[in-house]
């Protein structure tokens, strides 16, 4: 369209200048105005109308120049130039800009025509109906082409946005798959560390106890080795359940599992684990009980591995708005708590339940864990 507009403008400029120089004495002012009109009029064509500032400045300058041109022209054909500028304004200016420019162009046309007619014939001679209809038809055609161009650009923009959205969706799906795989990897890693790690720790301690008694009391040592076999079988069963992706049993009861774990720990290592908790915890789901069990299991495992403790204590209390638990051992303690895989796993499980957990220790003061789970976070 813009190439056709440039050709059309060149033809109109040629006709106007031809008629003007036929009926007007050649003067320097006329030559300068004509040259300036050509430069200003075709300056925006050099950029294929792609620079909005150049379009606005040159179109405004053209209206001023054509007004001055009408004052020195001996031909009334200058109105064709105004018509060309009106067409260009409709075709290339922004949505609101072309409407304003159209009114300014019409005002410029009326003003220049009045001055020229009164100067040369003494009265205003309006254009004929056929000429006005032709002008209107051409402008409507140009406006229609503009609308089609805008729609094409909108379709192109929407297609680009859709393509970009599809790319984002594909990337999101890839990230979702990666995140799901990472979450599953972390879940398996946590289960291996919490469940299998606890079983293997107990197995090692039981085997060591049996080894110490092997020479002095072979019968007692055999008892420890029998327990080691049971622990090995339990560890193997844990591996099978982990591979099968088995979830905690629907009838998981925290108090019974903790009591059973405390009994096994006592038999395997001699560590006494005292448990103080209510028989039931209202609003505490199976998964949440299982998470808390894993947290306390990891706490006992760490005590067995590092603390050299004789006793440990688990306290679970319920309050109207929260569940509070604590764990203490009387081991050697530590001056600096290392946030390894086990402790990070506890924090992850607490975060999943919307709770908080804190760790404290000092040399010779044992190890302490305190946690709080707000009931509004349970089940979320």
Q: What is the DSSP letter of 47?
A: T
- Tens of pLDDT, residues 155-169: 888 887 788 777 767
pLDDT at 373: 92
pLDDT at 359: 96
pLDDT at 310: 94
SS (HEC) of 124-181: CCCCCHHHHHHHHHHHHHHHHHHHHHHHHHHHHHHHHHHHHHHHHHHHHHHHHHHHHH
What residues are paired with 273 via a beta bridge?
A: 312
pLDDT at 192: 65
- pTM comes to 0.45
DSSP conformation letters of 312-355: EEEEEEEETTEEEEEEEE-S---SS----HHHHHHHHHHHHTTE
Q: What is the set of domains in the chain, with CATH numbers? A: 2-126 (no CATH), 179-374 (3.30.565.10)
Higher pLDDT, 330 or 67: 330
Query: Average pLDDT, stretch 44-56?
Result: 81
Query: Average pLDDT, stretch 82-99?
Result: 80
- Tens of pLDDT, residues 202-231: 677 777 777 777 778 777 777 776 777 777
Cα(377)–Cα(380) distance, rounded to whole angstroms? 5
- In sequence order, the 6+-apart residues with CB closer than 8 A to the CB of 43 are 54, 58
Are the CB atoms for 349 and 357 separated by under 8 Å?
Answer: no
Q: Which stretch of 12-21, 78-87, 217-226 has the lowest confidence by average pLDDT?
A: 217-226
- Tens of pLDDT, residues 251-307: 678 899 899 889 988 887 889 999 999 988 887 888 888 889 889 989 998 998 889
What residues are paired with 312 via a beta bridge?
A: 273, 329
User: β-pairing, 311-319 with 355-361?
Assistant: unpaired
Instruction: Kindly tell me the sign of the dihedral angle through the C-alpha atoms of 6, 11, 13, 14.
Output: positive
Q: Work out the number of other CB atoms within 10 angstroms of the CB of residue 50.
A: 11
Query: Average pLDDT, stretch 111-122?
Result: 78
pLDDT at 55: 81
- In sequence order, the 6+-apart residues with CB closer than 8 A to the CB of 169 are none
Higher pLDDT, 117 or 172: 117
């Amino acid at each position: 369209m813009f190439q056709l507009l440039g050709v059309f403008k060149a033809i109109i400029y040629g006709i106007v200048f031809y008629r003007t120089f036929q009926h007007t004495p050649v003067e320097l002012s006329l030559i300068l105005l004509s040259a300036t009109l050509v430069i200003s009029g075709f300056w925006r064509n050099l950029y294929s109308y792609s620079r909005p500032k150049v379009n606005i400045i040159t179109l405004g300058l053209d209206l001023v120049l054509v007004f001055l041109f009408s004052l020195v022209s001996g031909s009334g054909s200058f109105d064709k130039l105004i018509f060309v500028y009106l067409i260009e304004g409709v075709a290339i200016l922004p949505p609101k800009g072309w409407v304003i420019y159209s009114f300014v162009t019409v005002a410029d046309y009326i003003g220049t025509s009045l001055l020229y007619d009164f100067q040369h014939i003494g009265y205003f001679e309006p254009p004929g109906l056929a000429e006005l209809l032709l002008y209107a038809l051409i402008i409507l055609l140009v406006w229609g082409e503009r609308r089609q161009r805008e729609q094409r650009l909108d379709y192109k923009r929407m297609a680009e946005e859709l393509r970009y959205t599809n790319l984002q969706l594909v990337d999101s799906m890839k990230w979702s798959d990666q995140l799901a795989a990472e979450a599953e990897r972390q879940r398996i890693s946590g289960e291996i560390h919490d469940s299998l790690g606890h079983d293997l720790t107990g197995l090692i301690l039981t085997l060591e106890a049996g080894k110490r008694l092997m020479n002095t009391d072979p019968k007692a040592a055999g008892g420890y080795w029998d327990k080691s076999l049971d622990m090995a079988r339990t560890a193997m069963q844990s591996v099978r359940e982990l591979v099968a992706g088995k979830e905690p049993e629907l009838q998981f009861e925290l108090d019974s599992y903790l009591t059973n774990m405390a009994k096994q720990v006592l038999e395997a290592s001699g560590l006494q684990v005292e448990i103080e908790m209510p028989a039931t915890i209202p609003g505490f789901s199976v998964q949440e009980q299982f998470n808390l069990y894993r947290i306390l299991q990891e706490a006992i495992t760490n005590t067995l591995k590092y603390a050299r403790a004789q006793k440990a204590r688990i306290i679970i209390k319920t309050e109207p708005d929260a569940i509070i638990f604590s764990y203490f051992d009387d081991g050697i303690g530590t001056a600096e708590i290392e946030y390894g895989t086990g402790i990070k796993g506890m924090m992850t499980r607490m975060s999943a339940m919307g709770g908080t957990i804190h760790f404290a220790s000092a040399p010779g003061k044992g190890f302490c864990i305190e946690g709080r789970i707000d009931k509004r976070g349970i089940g979320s």
